[in-house]
Amino acid sequence: MPKSGANISLTSYDDIFSTEETRQTEQIQQIPIAELHPFKNHPFKVLDDEAMQRTVESVAQFGVLAPLIARPREEGGYEIISGHRRQHAAELAGLKTMPVIVRNMSDDEAVIHMVDSNLQREHILPSERAFAYKMKLEAIKNQGARSDLTSPQVAAKFRSDDEVAKGQGISGDTVRRYIRLTNLIPELLDLVDQKKISFNPAVELSYLTATEQRDFLEAMQDTQNAPSLSQAQRIKKLSQEGKCTYDAIFDIMGEEKKAEMDRVTIKNDVLRKYFPKSYTPKQMQDTIIKLLEQWQKKRQRSQER
């Protein structure tokens, strides 16, 4: 039997934001897992990682405490709106049915609800956020289309971007910059998710054509360098001027960054092997300086002989 206090930490987005009237009229149904299908173009990845394993163990012990939200499909079965990770965990745990609240939603309503429920997660990859914002932006623009505006496309764009940003603690401009990432080829977008390319340089690189992006990827691999913002901006300018070739990109990516020229970094775990555990960073630094001074004097004496 589930523990009485277990529901507290697993209260779902839907429980928080649905109205009392909705909760009273909606019924939780036990639906076979085989009849539950993922949302079309679902941008959030369901990974078999350590977090998923913990969820599987929880589901096996307590069951699924928060019901999924789904809508009927024309071809039969149900499309999951929120709860993809719970559905996968239940399947791995060997459950045959799951608690589900079935709601009739339009395509745009379903997209907005799906994105909002998943954006509550703690860890979201840049690629997930990018495609989620894009889907929600398009859904909001579809819902808010008006014919009485002088410039409906321009006006709707800025209203919709700000609407997507609302509640996320970001600006409409940040939403637009995230959506730019959807123009990256998959290989580069994966590097952004892996933090091998930073967000701001990635936005600049998104303006390159697919062919130019592949040339950039090859140049990045050949030089073994990640792009700085300045380098990405210069490569973008080359693209705008029609001069973005592999050789031109290689020349920029092969430059030695000033910060790397001015700084020598030794990892703490490397240094710790040579010092007592009681030493502070300041004591370690002082000792290193003294040793270097002794080494320098020894070299000078050797050169004078």
- Show the CA angle centred on residue 115, arms to residues 112 and 120, nearest 5°: 130
Look up residue 276 and give its two tokens: 């007592």
Instruction: Write down the pLDDT at residue 147.
Output: 37
Instruction: Write down the pLDDT at residue 295.
Output: 85
Stretches where the chain sits below pLDDT 70 are: 1-25, 144-159, 167, 257-265, 267-269, 304-305
Instruction: Write down the pLDDT at residue 120.
Output: 78
| Domain-wise residue ranges, the chain | 8-117, 125-183, 195-262, 266-293
Instruction: Write down the pLDDT at residue 153.
Output: 47
What gap in Å lies between CA 205 and CA 296, rounded to an integer? 45
Instruction: Write down the pLDDT at residue 25.
Output: 53
Please give the model's pTM, rounded to 2 decimal places. Answer: 0.68
DSSP for 216-269 reads HHHHHHHHT-PPPHHHHHHHHHHHHTT---HHHHHHHHTSPPHHHHH-----HH
Q: List the CATH code of the domain at 8-117.
A: 3.90.1530.10
Instruction: Write down the pLDDT at residue 48.
Output: 87
Tens of pLDDT, residue by residue over 263-301, are: 566 766 678 778 887 888 778 888 888 888 888 888 777
Backbone angles phi, psi at 11, to 5 degrees: -60, 130
* DSSP code, position 38: P
Instruction: Write down the pLDDT at residue 156.
Output: 46
Instruction: Write down the pLDDT at residue 190.
Output: 96
Q: State the CB neighbour count (10 A cutoff) for residue 171.
A: 12
